Chain A
Amino acid sequence: MSKYLDLSIVEINKLLKEKKIKPLDLVLEAFDRIEERKDLNAFITLDKERAIMKAKELEDKEVDNLFFGIPIAVKDNIVTKDLRTTCASHILDNFIPIYDATVVEKINDCHMIIVGKTNMDEFAMGSTSQTSYFGAPHNPWDVQKVAGGSSGGSAACISARLVPLALGSDTGGSIRQPSSYCGIVGMKPTYGRVSRYGLVAFGSSLDQIGPMTRNVYENALLLNVLVGRDDRDLTSSHKEKEDFTRLIGEDIKGMRIAVPNFFVKEDIVSSEVLNKLHEVIELLEKNGATVEYVDIDYIENAVTLYQIIAMGEASSNLARFDGVRYGYSVEDPKGIDELYALTRGNGFGDEVKRRIMVGSYLLSGENAKIYYNKALQIREAIRESFLKVFEKYDLIIGPNATTTAYNLGEGLDDPLKTFLDDILVIPVNMAGLPGMNVPMGFGEGHLPIGLQIIGNRFDEALMYKLASFVEKELDLELNPLEVR
């Protein structure tokens, strides 16, 4: 088997330009790799025939950008025209979208080649991808462990080097936490940076699409492509395009970094994760950054807010799955009520049903005031607390996950575990801030541990600067095949 996909995007681009390889070589290699690691269950749907066809079409075209001909995987909650999009749910397992998401248009415009749709938690609800109707993806570092979630398939396929690029989505940590478990780089951009048009809505005020890659530089490059105002998503920002790689490689001397006390609590975060964080803090201080511990008011309430806001918004967003216009529909219902209730009862999995039911309850009648309204007030208070920190500091750091990846099968019947797994990543979504994962070491069983970097709104370039510094200094071997 050829090994072109182990090269950097820049090196691949050079080979393509010099006509030493063709896009078809890359696509065939990607499908060979995917076939070889079928055990990871990283994909729900593959698009081999069309990918090969597109690769052949590109042979007559000029190699006009860095991503030309590069295979990419897309999370299965981002709609792709004429390619099945299931959200890992039975209710959408026959759904063929009739349009492309904005981000899919953008990757097609750069002539990237979509190889398939990645596995995930059903409707992105979960922290391990085990709620998928199609079975859980496995962690390439140890196939007995979860890949994390909800973008677990995207994280697993980057980690196992099946493709160099993937898209994920992050409502309460769903890019950062699986990136941490699988030892890859994942960015959840500022809310509004990337258009959500064509992302199947879960918690609309929290959802954001972002890049998942093998390294920091390629992550920044891919974000360059994804951003921009889109009139089809009115929450997308008018911010000018910028080059997110521009600060990579710069000195971190004088950088002011905050660590929330909540992120280093010994009763929340495991000691091996804390030890790695302290090593990174030492490294940053040695290189001229100041690191100080801070309190962020109300951050300890973020999980509760997330439960109320995300379940509330989900209950409303998922009302559209009613068996009438698309997706699974129960046969021969007696009346419209039965059509709705049976379609949804049979079509949704357990986690999704729990969240819709609780969400509907929290928004019904007086409860909307008691729960939802109060949650929005605390949400504003958290946002203000974060902004206060950013008056004095450039970036915030901490872990992304409280532990390394745990065993498959754990926590499935505990409705609270999935939320507690995300205790360190949820606050960022509440405030609409950008957050990312960069690997910072390994714990017991050689399982990856990730560093979370949080920036002020629209400060992704600065985050990439710190992330690339950590990446370069630690110089970790992040390909599980090389370690084994």
Chain B
Amino acid sequence: MSDRLTKQEVLHVARLARINVTEEEIEKYQVQLKQLLDDVDKIKEVKLTNEDRLIAPVEEKTVCREDEQGEMLDPEEIMKNVPSSNGNFVEVPVMINE
């Protein structure tokens, strides 16, 4: 088994994560991501007697809150952190052409 991912494999996981990677990073991640993935592969060898799952360690039942309007954040405040805005609208690049 190779000790590194292929360049294509790194580009695939980077695409899944929506993270741009430079040529230099690809080189590095080919080795580092492979190390991590090999390590998590140990899980395949674990034998279990039970199939129950624990998603979160919460014992209380979660309940829905009343369907009432609660506190709201001020739109003007929210817009202060928006990188690119137009009035109360958040601006993003064109998503669909034509």
Contact = CB atoms under 8 A, between A and B. Distances in A.
A446 B22 CA distance: 43
A378 interface: yes
B69 interface: no
Given A298-B46, A380-B50, A344 B93 contact: no
B32 A354 contact: yes
B44 A326 contact: no
Interface in B39-98: 39-40, 42-44, 46, 48-60, 62-63, 65, 73-74, 77-78, 80-84, 90, 92-95
B71 to A, nearest CB: 9
A314 B48 CA distance: 26
A342 B20 contact: yes
A328 B81 CA distance: 10
Contacts of A304: 39-40, 42-43, 46
Contacts of B48: 374, 377-378, 381
Contacts of B83: 323-324, 326-329
Given A383-B57, A432-B57, A432-B58, A96 B80 contact: yes
B43 A378 contact: yes
A416 B12 CA distance: 22
A205 interface: yes
A380 B51 CA distance: 9
Contacts of A10: none
B58 A354 contact: no
B16 A360 contact: yes
A191 B32 CA distance: 32
Nearest to A97: B81
Contacts of A378: 43, 46, 48
B1 interface: no
Contact of A307 (B39, B49, B90): B39
A335 B25 CA distance: 23
B46 to A, nearest CB: 6
A344 B19 contact: yes
Interface string A284-325: 000000000000001001001101100000010001001111
Contact of A237 (B16, B32, B60, B63): B60
A380 B62 contact: no
Task: Kindly name the residue among B43, B57, B65 whose own CB sees the greatest number of chain A CB atoms within 10 A.
Answer: B57
A370 B44 contact: yes
B93 A191 contact: no
B18 A344 contact: yes
A364 interface: yes
Interface string A406-417: 000000010110
Contacts of B14: 341, 357
A456 B57 CA distance: 12
A376 to B, nearest CB: 4
Interface in A341-357: 341-342, 344-346, 348, 353-354, 356-357
Interface of A: 95-96, 98-99, 191-192, 204-205, 231, 234-235, 237-238, 298, 301, 304-305, 307-308, 315, 319, 322-329, 333-342, 344-346, 348, 353-354, 356-362, 364, 370-371, 373-381, 383-384, 413, 415-416, 419, 430-433, 457
18 contacts: A98-B81, A204-B56, A205-B57, A235-B56, A298-B46, A304-B39, A305-B43, A327-B83, A339-B92, A357-B33, A358-B36, A361-B12, A361-B13, A374-B48, A376-B54, A384-B50, A430-B57, A431-B57
